[in-house]
Amino acid sequence: MAEFLEQQNMLVQLCLSLLLEDKTTGKNIIFATDSYADLGEQYAPEREITEDLLPFLDLKPRILKSKEEQALRTRKNAEVFTPAWLCCKMNNHCDEEWFGRPDVFNVLDGEQWTVTTEPVDFPEGKTWQEYIDSRRLEITCGEAPYVVSRYDTATGEPIELKDRIGILDRKLRIVNENTTEYADWEKWTIRAFQSVYGYEWQGDSLLIARINLLMTLQDYYTDRWGGDDVKQLKALARKVANIITWNFWQMDGLTGIVPYGEPEKEYEQVDMFSMMDMMMQPEAASETSGAGQKNTECRIFDWRANESVKFSSIRKG
């Protein structure tokens, strides 16, 4: 695999500022790893990832990192990426539960799989639209290998579009099989993206996951509609990038809050009135972490209800 950012096209550059956003804090996602700390203070774990810092990061998928770096991240953050065949097996199990039968999208044999070629048939009482809207969450998602499978995260080998096994890949296959007009294809493609979620602690892995989802959009768009209508693709990419940024967020999975609290600001001048306001609101003190940052509960978006909600409210049911 080539340098990760270098192989990305204009869609990533178009949407990069959005892909760096943290919808909960209204700022950017933070590094949440000391992998880049030797580059300077602005690369500390609590600092935001900004566009001007990216050229110096050598951002790349885990498989391209050094063995020492992989081992360190595994030891410190339990970062272990699942091979594609195991992602396929687990996704197959979920689909077997939903469809009531095995081998809906592929037949897995050991570490290899053969994709089914006939259009997917839906069981009585269930529709393809319900499958698209069925919500899926990948916890501690890393580069999101269960959701999109552009490459095998354990080997770095690219996976052809027709052989992909991710949750979103399956949904987009269903969209392709059941729509003929662009307007319908776009509508249900957007709903497919709205139905997949994932959270991750480390900022660089989260950014790669978000990029992988956006590039998956381009892969399926180009395969279905070609690449001539750049304006149409860009418009769709902006819509989908906003969905991705809401649905794939940075969180401490044990506490449900932003890692380290809110990102550390470069400079913050507190005037007399702000200080008096803080003194009048003692409850704010109970919301701060040891680093002096607010323990902000993460928010995600319920696209069917058209509102943002605290993740803790979803987890509690």
Please count the structural domains in the chain.
1
SS3 call for 106: strand
How is the beta sheet containing 196-200 ordered, strand by strand?
Answer: 136-138, 196-200, 248-250
C-alpha dihedral sign at 269, 274, 280, 285: negative
Cα separation, 180 vs 239, in Å, equals 21
pLDDT at 295: 75
Is the pLDDT at 77 greater than 90, yes or no? no
Query: What confidence score (pLDDT) does residue 105 get?
Result: 98
Domain that holds residue 142: 1-317
- Average pLDDT (1-30) is 80
Give pTM, 2 decimals: 0.85
Residue 206 contacts residue 214 (beta carbons within 8 Å): no
pLDDT of residue 268: 44
Q: How far apart are CA 31 and CA 56, in angstroms?
A: 13
pLDDT at 316: 62
Mean pLDDT of the chain: 85
- pLDDT of residue 173 exceeding 80, the answer is yes
Using the structure block, give the residue that is written with the tokens 């809401």. 246
Instruction: Report the sign of the C-alpha dihedral through residues 113, 119, 124, 125, in that order.
Output: positive
**How much is the pLDDT for 69?**
54
Backbone angles phi and psi of 68, in degrees to 5:
-65, -45
- In order of 139, 185, 196, 215, 239, the CA distances from 151 in angstroms are 19, 24, 18, 12, 24
Stretch among 9-18, 158-167, 211-220, 241-250 having the lowest mean pLDDT: 9-18
Grade residue 260 by pLDDT with cuts at 50, 70 and 90: confident
- Residue found under tokens 């704010």: 284
Tell whether the torsion through CA atoms of 149, 153, 154 and 158 is positive or negative: positive
pLDDT of residue 67: 53
- Report, as an integer, the average pLDDT of 100-104: 98
The vertex-118 CA angle with 137 and 95, nearest 5°, equals 25
Q: What is the mean pLDDT of residues 111-128?
A: 97
- Which runs of consecutive H residues, i.e. helices, occur in 39-146? 67-77, 84-99, 128-133
Residue appearing with tokens 């590039």: 215
pLDDT digits (tens, 9 = 90+) for 261-277: 755 454 444 444 444 44
Q: Residue 22 is encoded by which pair of tokens?
A: 């943290």
Per-residue confidence band for 279, with pLDDT thresholds at 50, 70 and 90 = very low
What's phi and psi for 79, nearest 5 deg? Answer: -80, 105
Q: Determine the Cα–Cα distance for residues 230 and 85; give it in Å rounded to an integer.
A: 34
Q: What is the pLDDT of residue 82?
A: 87
The CA radius of gyration of the chain, in Å to the nearest whole number, is 21
Mean pLDDT within 56-61: 75
Banded model confidence at residue 9, pLDDT cuts 50, 70, 90: confident
- Per-residue pLDDT tens for 79-90? 467 899 999 999
Asked if residue 264 lies in contact with residue 43, where contact means CB atoms within 8 angstroms, the answer is no
